[in-house]
Structure 1
Amino acid sequence: MNLVKQLPSIPTPYSSSSPCTKKSHHIFNLNISCSFSNNNNSAPPFSSSPFTEKHSFERYQRDSWLYNNPTASLCSNQPDDNSSTSIRENDIALQLPELKKLLQVLRNKRGEESGNGNGKRKLGNVFLVGTGPGDPELLTLKAMRVIESADLLLYDRLVSNDVLELVKGDARLLYVGKTAGYHSRTQEEIHELLLSFAEVGATVVRLKGGDPLVFGRGGEEMDFLQQQGIQVKVIPGITAASGIAAELGIPLTHRGVANSVRFLTGHSRKGGTDPLFVAEHAADPDSTLVVYMGLSTLPALARKLMLNGLPSNIPAVAVERGTTPQQRMVFAELKDLMDEVTSAGLVSPTLIIIGKVIALSPFWPETSKEAIPILETRQSS
């Protein structure tokens, strides 16, 4: 049994329209006529993504202060499977002059301030801020205050455009997102950027989708900066597992049904296969398994889970762009999930949840509930 659904749009006070009509963050008024299409010349589904994708028009509008010739950069950076390295290097080469200029401005400003005091250099703060799974209304009040106070914000691919619209007009935005096959900057370059701006006294905000310390490399950035003497403050965000499960009415734990929950990454470091090795320990029918970034490894992971004792008919769901108006979801038994995901054409970002608790969701097919022993378990608990 399976179910493919797209939730209706829920009106919010935030608009997902083009940022051209909103407040400026050092944005040039560009008249761009070049096309933003893939090589197959077909528009991707749900192209009005709330997220800042690697080649989106919105991204370059926000980052245009970095480029001497932003129009050329926009038109030359078309998606190309064979050019992701050259795109990244080209971006960095274009951005370096402006980044150095901004560093010098901040350095001079801090120098003047210290000249009026005791002359002691004051280091800036770095905030690692979780922006939640996509819905801007899921931001914490503390996150909003920090975003509004920043001098420079480094943001990831899964930070929604609506969240970026909360940034004050004189702050600088810098895209450092990663996606499969394209890293706009390496992790080491991100470390150095955070350090360089903090050393000249800037308030630097590192925006990450979900929670910064759940599969977001926030721990690596925090460890690096603290070793350099930079104070790091973490503002937690609602991780995708909690936000998306709540949106679908799925309790991650439930008395008598699931006594634990486990978060698993579908990607391994250096592109290896190690996420699959934990499957034998994760195949617990009394636990809920949440797989982040797991589309590519789902077929192998599902097979291994079933091979290690997880029932093939256990409920599962895959959710694309969770908590946003573009959310799509596929419900199916584990053995059928990959086929249904492929049929529906789900793309990243997609979260996968596996476990008996999914049958508690109002979106789980009623006909499937009769085949799942969860109902008997729930009644007897």
Structure 2
Amino acid sequence: MSVATLDTRAGDAKAGRVFLIGAGPGDPDLLTVKALRLIQGAALVVYDRLVSKEIMELIPAAAERIYAGKALGNHHLVQDEINDLLLRLARSGRDVVRLKGGDPFVFGRGSEEALHLARHGIAFEVVPGISAAAGCSTYAGIPLTHRGLATGVRFVTGHLQGERSLDLDWTKLADPEVTLAVYMGLQALPEIAARLMAAGLPADTPAAAVESGTTPRQRRVVGTLATLLDLTAAAGLQAPTLLIIGRVVGLADELDWFGPS
């Protein structure tokens, strides 16, 4: 390992540090002890749209807050701008708490932010959070794996860029032995359902959609691959919504511990 590499990882001694914190899916009780300690001691917070209001209330009133949220088709800041913002703030000598929904390294683009900081000699730490897939499925009464129903789980993104179709290997995804947890898939649900059924996944495969999971605003719709689109439309579900597709969804009613849907 070169001296230059060691110096880069040690960070700029004059710069502040950046804490990339996973805020989890919304319930503040699901924060890690470390995440809670850093949030409550923060003087400067850069936060995303998916950080729940309950978690935002834990930030000290005197702390500076900078919104860096992104919604489909409406980016307050694009990713390159967020990367440069974190770099600029750290170079000013201030420690930065970067709050991201779920886990920073699971469809959170936290690794892109970390790489940008690392390549510019800024010290950073990553605090894992409970992912949306783990939290929302559990609060919806759906185990991601279960003996005899699912031998594994796959996390995929359903985010569409403009009018482009999803670039996924549908043949591999249409595996009845595996649970699919689809992030940001509500808008693309028509294509997701059609492609999976065309690839051989049975139309009666249990499927669910969970809106604002783990929070008091949680809503859950349970149906099948063939019916989920109509059910979500009738319920008026909106983002953030996680899709869960697989036989484990058939346990949702029995394991619905969180409350009425």
Is residue 303 from structure 1 mapped to residue 194 from structure 2 by the alignment?
yes
Paired position in structure 2 for 1:336 = 227
Is residue 356 from structure 1 mapped to residue 231 from structure 2 by the alignment?
no
Paired position in structure 2 for 1:200 = 92
Distance 1:273 1:260, change over 3 A: farther
Aligned partners of 2:122, 2:72: CA distance in 1, in Å?
Answer: 30
Paired position in structure 1 for 2:128 = 236
TM-score by length of 2: 0.89
Q: In structure 2, the residue corresponding to 1:277 is in which secondary structure?
A: coil
Which digits, 9 at most, give the CA deviation of each residue in 1:210-237, with x for residues without a partner?
Answer: 1111111111101111000011211111
Matching residue's letter, 2:195: K
Which digits, 9 at most, give the CA deviation of each residue in 1:185-232, with x for residues without a partner?
Answer: 111111111011111221101101111111111111011110000112
2:106 to 204, 208, 214: 214
Q: In structure 2, the residue corresponding to 1:290 is in which secondary structure?
A: strand
Partners of 1:195 and 1:230 within 8 A in 2: yes
Superposed displacement of residue 139, structure 1: 0.8
Matching residue's letter, 2:241: T
Partners of 1:261 and 1:287 within 8 A in 2: yes
Partners of 2:136 and 2:214 within 8 A in 1: yes
Which digits, 9 at most, give the CA deviation of each residue in 1:99-134, with x for residues without a partner?
Answer: xxxxxxxxxxxxxxxxxxxxx952211011111111
TM-score by length of 1: 0.62
Superposed displacement of residue 149, structure 1: 2.4
Superposed displacement of residue 280, structure 1: 2.0
Q: In structure 1, the residue corresponding to 2:21 is in which secondary structure?
A: strand
Dislocated runs of 4+, deviation >4 Å: none
Q: In structure 1, the residue corresponding to 2:221 is in which secondary structure?
A: strand
Relative to structure 2, which stretch is displaced further, 135-144 or 147-156? 147-156
1:252 to 129, 144, 156: 144
Q: Which of 1 and 2 has greater Rg?
A: 1
Partners of 1:129 and 1:143 within 8 A in 2: yes
1:279 to 164, 170, 173: 170
Superposed displacement of residue 364, structure 1: 8.3
Partners of 1:276 and 1:301 within 8 A in 2: no
Matching residue's letter, 1:346: L
Aligned partners of 1:214, 1:322: CA distance in 2, in Å?
Answer: 16
Distance 1:227 1:274, change over 3 A: farther
Which of the pair is proportionally richer in helix? Answer: 1
Aligned partners of 2:215, 2:125: CA distance in 1, in Å?
Answer: 27
Q: In structure 2, the residue corresponding to 1:243 is in which secondary structure?
A: helix
Gaps of 5+ in 2: 1-11, 257-261
Is residue 142 from structure 1 mapped to residue 34 from structure 2 by the alignment?
yes
Aligned partners of 2:201, 2:13: CA distance in 1, in Å?
Answer: 58
Tell me the number of residue pairs that the alignment of Structure 1 and Structure 2 aligns: 245
Superposed displacement of residue 258, structure 1: 0.5
- Indicate the percent of aligned positions where both proteins have the same amino acid: 52
Is residue 151 from structure 1 mapped to residue 11 from structure 2 by the alignment?
no
Matching residue's letter, 1:353: I
Aligned partners of 1:142, 1:216: CA distance in 2, in Å?
Answer: 19
1:167-178 pair list within 5 angstroms:
167-178=59-70
